[in-house]
Amino acid sequence: MIYEFDGFELDLNAVELRSRGHAVPLQPQVFDLLFLLVENHDRMVSRDEIVEKIWQGRAISETAISSRIKALRQALGDDGAEQRIIRTVHGRGFRIVAEVTLKLPVTVEERPREMRGAAGGPPSIAVLPFRNPGQPTPDLTGDAIAHDIIVSLSRLRWLRVIARGSSFRFRDPDPDLRTIGHALGVRYCLTGDVEHSSTGIDVHAELDDTTNDAVVWSERFRIGPDEIGGLRDVICRHVAAALEFHIPEAEASKVKALPGPLHDSWSRFHLGLHHLFRLNREDNTRAVGHFEAALALEPEFVRAWAGLSFTDFQSAYLGYDKDPGPRIAAARNRSQHALSIDSNDAFSHLTMGRSYWLDGQVAESLPWLEGATELSPNYAQAHYSQAWAAAMLGRSKVAHASVELAMALSPLDPFLYAMRGTKALAYLTEDAPQEAVPWIELAAGTPGAHPVVGLVAAACRGLSGEPDAACTWVARMRERNPGVSCAYFFRSIPFSDPGLRDRLGHALRVAGLQ
């Protein structure tokens, strides 16, 4: 990297200070002192820190520091009176007051492909320290939030996260994200502002694409004075969940614009996800093609194996094939293979758990789904899946808590309709069909919702004493899928409570379902 300030260039690779293209000679300790000050241009560097970094903590006199500062000022054409570049904070330390910017020594095209801010390889992100607008010094709350987000995102095995030691170098009030993306080799940058007031703290977070300056996602969090203790946990949880959804979507959009020959295994994987979550037979088939193409390029690509397991689950659960048996076996086998490659991949734990649903082993799915959230605590899909399994097993409190967390973590999720439906299923286990009705009808009214969701709506209306509304829902679902039946319903919604199954079956038969 090259730092620019007041007509000078500090080239770290060449270990050289230049003025208008000409080298300015500096003694090694003076160069190191300049680098220390420039690198920390956003703050004062104390005398103790200078001793620690330049003299490795050895006992030295004040004269030694003063002589190095004097030599540095002479090289920069500065002096102790004007202090145009280096300001003395009397009795405490020194600070660069000239404006410092970062310049790249090479263009992005000259960098290795895996280090470019373009499509190719796993997504990558830098989290910059959150700023306090109008404040000249770093905001400790902002630093703490950014640090905790880095730690949280580092648990996402599909995302390459730049360490704090590199990303925290960039503290400009108006950062050049393209330059930062190129310098750190990342496609995404997360920035934020922290504003303090007497009524609490406002935090604004924004995810940007460093290749085109596009805003991918942004959100503002308002934390009241009584909630400040949990501030960092709240923000970390929501940011991690938002990126889990928005980065794959952005990656898929980016990859679609590339010509086929430039697609690598990660590109193919993200295209597969893009089609997978459209939840229809044609797109599921396209997702299979992309995941298989990813594996042709990288045979041990664990997430592509898990993706294929998900396509098998979808085919079996949604009835795409007349005989679901081979798909059920494939869903389990592919998840097992993924876990044999990487036992700590949360997506593979999710697909393994869901594979048990296909043959009615709902209780056996829970350890795998819980493993997914242990590995990735903000994984909305895994929390939703735990909620569904808990509802089937009659554990309504767990179901409510898990699905509410899933919806909070991913309010724009492609499975949001299913999350709402799961909320209704939890109410059914409590024998509260009236409470379930608004949730299930909101879910069933979502375009592309699974027909069984409409049958749940019919059952809820029937159990609420509204037979005409129940009949209307059954008729609607018959129009969409003439093969719907009570057996079809209980294959998809395998409640373990026999009494609840009897009540649901009776309500559906009264509504005209056989």
Task: Give residue 133's pLDDT.
Answer: 77
* Confidence tier at 107 by pLDDT (50, 70, 90): very low
Mean pLDDT, residues 334-356 taken together: 94
Cβ(494)–Cβ(359) under 8 Å?
A: no
Q: Is the pLDDT of residue 300 over 80?
A: yes
Cβ(419)–Cβ(383) under 8 Å?
A: no
Mean pLDDT, residues 138-150 taken together: 78
Minimal CA–CA distance to 334: which of 303, 368, 293, 377?
303
pLDDT in tens, 51-62: 888 887 788 888
Give the phi and the psi of residue 247 in degrees, each rounded to 5.
Answer: -65, -45
Mean pLDDT, all residues of the chain: 85
Strand order in the sheet with 188-197: 160-161, 124-127, 188-197, 200-209, 215-223
Of all residues in the chain, the percent with pLDDT exceeding 70 is 91
Mean pLDDT, residues 300-310 taken together: 94
pLDDT in tens, 4-34: 888 899 987 788 899 988 899 988 889 989 9
* Confidence tier at 111 by pLDDT (50, 70, 90): very low
Task: Give residue 250's pLDDT.
Answer: 77
| pTM for this prediction | 0.70
Task: Give residue 255's pLDDT.
Answer: 65
Give the integer Cα–Cα distance in Å for 45 and 137: 12
> Alpha helices, DSSP H only, in 154-259?
164-167, 177-184, 231-256
Q: Is the pLDDT of residue 437 over 80?
A: yes
Mean pLDDT, residues 358-386 taken together: 91
Task: Give residue 13's pLDDT.
Answer: 73
Q: In angstroms, what is the C-alpha Rg of the chain?
A: 29
pLDDT in tens, 197-229: 777 788 888 999 988 888 888 888 887 766 655
Mean pLDDT, residues 462-467 taken together: 94
Give the integer Cα–Cα distance in Å for 169 and 173: 12
Give the integer Cα–Cα distance in Å for 167 and 161: 10
Task: Give residue 228's pLDDT.
Answer: 58
Task: Give residue 368's pLDDT.
Answer: 96
Of all residues in the chain, the percent with pLDDT exceeding 90 is 39
Q: Is the pLDDT of residue 110 over 50?
A: no
Q: Is the pLDDT of residue 490 over 50?
A: yes
The sign one gets for the Cα dihedral 368, 371, 377, 379 is negative
* Confidence tier at 118 by pLDDT (50, 70, 90): very low
Task: Give residue 92's pLDDT.
Answer: 87
Task: Give residue 230's pLDDT.
Answer: 67
Element (H, E) at 501: helix 498-510
What is the number of other CB atoms lying within 10 angstroms of the CB of residue 23? 12
Task: Give residue 104's pLDDT.
Answer: 59
Minimal CA–CA distance to 386: which of 344, 427, 350?
350
Q: Is the pLDDT of residue 261 over 60?
A: no
pLDDT in tens, 163-205: 777 788 787 777 888 888 887 888 899 999 888 777 778 888 8
- Judged by average pLDDT, the poorest of 197-211, 418-432, 497-511 is 197-211
- Judged by average pLDDT, the poorest of 34-48, 115-129, 163-177, 315-329 is 115-129
The sign one gets for the Cα dihedral 229, 230, 231, 233 is positive
Mean pLDDT, residues 235-243 taken together: 81
